Structure 1
């Protein structure tokens, strides 16, 4: 298999944002030769541009409070992996809290491939409660091992069941324990204590697939793990690159993409061929970012294009004025030295203290969040998912709930770059649709597009709010499908209902759209008791990775 097969800008824009399976297939050459099957053609009819509606390829389900994964009639699921399952002959095990999911076909197969899955943090159900306020070395090790990412090999048997290969030569764990290479402008600088390599990766929530077939994984809410394990926080909050087909390859943290609590990523190309990476933030006072590479993407270079992530310009969005703010240390210093300027209260730092952070140009990447707020980027509630429309290149952003700010159900936002150019300095921003009982969904999270323009949105209602108060009518979290053909018809249909307390956290289709992989996280009690109900034999967690068939 040649994983350096080139892909053109036009072809990539056809696939970008469609869900990792199609992008990965295109970037490895598989998407260029894939022949749609009858079932894929049926899936394509799901979307009707003339009516801007979603026809009845499947019969949408109603909200449910059952402790089960519910699907439309004719669909079924296989349990592929749960926490602690063996994934290779070395004895590595599947991590905790699966999140972003990407499928990479092997040998151009619809029924055999690798899955990359993020693992978003740990839990007392995994490492146990502290003793006298302290964790043991063994507990900390387990905490760091259970998060990060997994590469697993999966196949569909002749009977149609999806199964994990526990002896795969490709399967590996990416955890908070091994070494990671720091690349880009922050490498070796004082802000990261001159580090060129750092320890592992933490709290991996979001992700995307590159044009050259690797995974970009975003480190999200890493603060608690850093505190408990005594790790330097400036070594976390980065975008990590993983090559799923190279089991022994080192992971890389790309500092040019900025350090913050990553919450959703999408990759595109500008009209001049430069690489563009859009990135959300999971902080309560979040900013939206984009990175534009210095040099243009060259399809013939294959994996060598990864070097584009080492050098470029980082921007944060001014949603009020529709402009991208370039982040630079010089601009931050100039703003802080203005006697009339007062830093945002959410930073909880004085101007003098902030000036101490911004001394060298690399500091703007290490403290990208602070720089964005200082320079006037617009704050939103946490951004759980971002995705690019396959036809227009428009960006869709899932803004999660934040009850403290009066944002009860979250919403989907829409950003259109000027002249349709991802490299443009200006954009139009609006709200695509708001969550709530009136629109039949709440708390949008991970987003992914089909090639035909439907966007699949995972719902992530907080476990302690499910079936209560304003959330009662919506019942359990769901998986929803939106048509984006018209911004006046934006009520979704529900495809799946999660078990009680569960959240859908990632979706990925196989190339022919015959199988949908999805990750579910289920809130646990942390009391060490055996889980009850759905996936009760999962060994400490009801969270799971499943494969849905019937398309």
Structure 2
């Protein structure tokens, strides 16, 4: 059920990447000289940033001053002291002893002041456009003083089989149900307040709530950047190619230094029909983005109420989705902006940081089997407080794609999970430029073509195929970049390599990347596998060298976050160990690195999304996506009753957890 509604059964189809690009194992270099690298396990192998720089070929030896400067970045950290939540299959949100949780917002809760109360059996598109949307994902907060804030939440996709009684498919569904689904996509801005000085937060339900807003699949938007106005983005409804309508399948996201949201469109392909009927010149790109031919089974049939989703009539409409969208939560009248300079693919997230010289860097993953990792570096520098200048930074810069190289002989990577002789799964890599402004670095492709058909451009420059790269985020304390690689059960035994050491990778892994001199604008880096997930009793798993008898089982890492101490928080999606998904945390330095502990579990059938630890570390938010989404479940026979309890329908919700004695999270 999840596969059908979230991504259109993507894993049941042919892999979109049919390029001849190498896997890691095909590009293993001769063993590199390990100048200055600290050998203490995967997470510890990169603790000295300058030492890692020495692991990258052709780089100068680090100076003692550089070593001290980079090592200082790793001085933060804090103890984690809580009893892990055991694996379970409960229909409840489980948290550690000493903690409690509460729902902040659930599907159907009023967002706009004039929104009606939710009524499951009497839904309407007009009401849904004013209510909290379905399947919440990315969560972030914008403070408005100590005890008030704006909460942004993505609404990734709809599951009509759980939303409506008697639902069969998009072809047979009443048109009003299709309109409800369009309105349930997008995102919400809601004002929240702290409860009596605790770590609990709740919706503000009184007063004007002037910032509250719904963004949907029907919200007018605009394109900016080099591809805006391109012939590839022009349609009958928008002959100038600058005014897209709506956003779809917004998975994770990020924030900017100037206080806006970057929300990422992911599995947009599934919403269209007749991909086989586009002009011949477009067909190779349609295939690369796995757009279905004809009318795929389970299609929501948005084309019945919005003709633009029929590619036989509007072939360019599909090119107007798959972007990173910037939204100002403090201006409810501001048009959302699709930033074309960041490229078009199935974005999982878009997380920002600043380079040493002040330029803005955005890290992004393309969430499909054998796809790539990207980053964007702005041309100009961020200037604190200069809003008019900063709002243009994501429109001009260089878009890169990652190429990784292992450093161990191929014979030492045998599929068993045994570490190679150098003691770590690791290597080096480079960021390959694709496009900068109007200049393309890809032979035979214009800048606009690179940005609209980014996957094809990355194929041409030899980017490295990865196992569903999802969240990519830089740790603000240690400067390392962490990449969640969720899984890839299609990896054949012949395809195992140093960065993907297991065939049929059901459980995924987390990769740690350190850029030269800890500069996010650098084009070279070192990498190592921080975690190889799964059952700790499985010899093919790896927890940074930590004692595996003391760690929590973890499967399918999806999103990552960091607390103020730099601890790594990991949300899972699709736990292949047979128990509910959850939220996990591990230190990334010291004797406790690799000590993974489960902090919470979500209800049966649900995925853990978000997550977000507040800056004061007194609250942790998660989005509980698709509770009860189990094959065969229906509104008349639900598997979950969370969060409303017995007799209630499952409702995707955002929840907050806090310590009952006011202690910081994890303490």
Q: Where on the TM-score scale, by shorter chain, does this alignment land: which range?
A: 0.7 to 0.9
Q: CA deviation at 1:134?
A: 5.0
TM-score if structure 1 supplies the norm length? 0.80
Q: Tell me the residue number matched to 2:191.
A: 153
Aligned residue for 2:350, secondary structure, equals: strand
Q: 1:541 aligns with which of 647, 650, 653?
A: 650
Q: CA deviation at 1:310?
A: 0.6
* Residue 117 (1) aligns with residue 203 (2): no
Q: Tell me the residue number matched to 1:324.
A: 431
Partners of 1:126 and 1:142 within 8 A in 2: no
Matched ranges for 1:189-208 at <5 A: 189-193=230-234, 194-208=240-254
Q: Tell me the residue number matched to 2:561.
A: 448
Q: CA offsets, 1:143-172, max 9 Å, x none?
A: 221111111111133395532124522111
Q: Tell me the residue number matched to 1:256.
A: 341
Distance 1:144 1:166 in 2: 25
Q: Quickly say closer, same or farther: Cα 1:487–1:389, change in 2 above 3 A.
A: farther
Q: Tell me the residue number matched to 1:515.
A: 619
Aligned residue for 2:599, secondary structure, equals: strand
Gapped regions of structure 1 (runs ≥ 5): 1-48, 335-357, 466-470
Distance 2:592 2:462 in 1: 31
Distance 1:368 1:218 in 2: 15
Q: CA RMSD in A?
A: 2.4
Distance 1:427 1:313 in 2: 17
Q: CA deviation at 1:527?
A: 3.0
Q: Tell me the residue number matched to 2:485.
A: 399
Q: Tell me the residue number matched to 2:456.
A: 370
Q: Quickly say closer, same or farther: Cα 1:297–1:517, change in 2 above 3 A.
A: same
Partners of 2:93 and 2:602 within 8 A in 1: yes
Q: Quickly say closer, same or farther: Cα 1:508–1:303, change in 2 above 3 A.
A: farther
Q: Tell me the residue number matched to 2:257.
A: 211
Q: Tell me the residue number matched to 2:506.
A: 408
Aligned residue for 2:112, secondary structure, equals: coil
**How many residue pairs end up in the alignment?**
467
Q: Tell me the residue number matched to 2:636.
A: 529
Distance 1:453 1:313 in 2: 28
Distance 2:210 2:634 in 1: 36
Q: CA deviation at 1:333?
A: 3.0
Q: 2:600 aligns with which of 488, 493, 496?
A: 496
Q: Quickly say closer, same or farther: Cα 1:427–1:544, change in 2 above 3 A.
A: same
Q: Tell me the residue number matched to 1:421.
A: 519
Larger radius of gyration: 2
Q: CA deviation at 1:397?
A: 0.5
Q: Tell me the residue number matched to 1:177.
A: 218
Q: CA offsets, 1:83-125, max 9 Å, x none?
A: 111112132100111111001111x21x321100011111112
Q: 2:139 aligns with which of 98, 101, 105?
A: 101
Distance 1:186 1:487 in 2: 49
Q: Tell me the residue number matched to 1:28.
A: none
Aligned residue for 1:327, secondary structure, equals: strand
Bigger proportion of residues as strand: 1
- The answer to which of 184-193 and 381-390 deviates more is 381-390
Matched ranges for 1:300-339 at <5 A: 300-302=385-387, 304-320=389-405, 322-328=429-435, 331-334=441-444
Distance 2:86 2:520 in 1: 38
Distance 1:123 1:461 in 2: 16
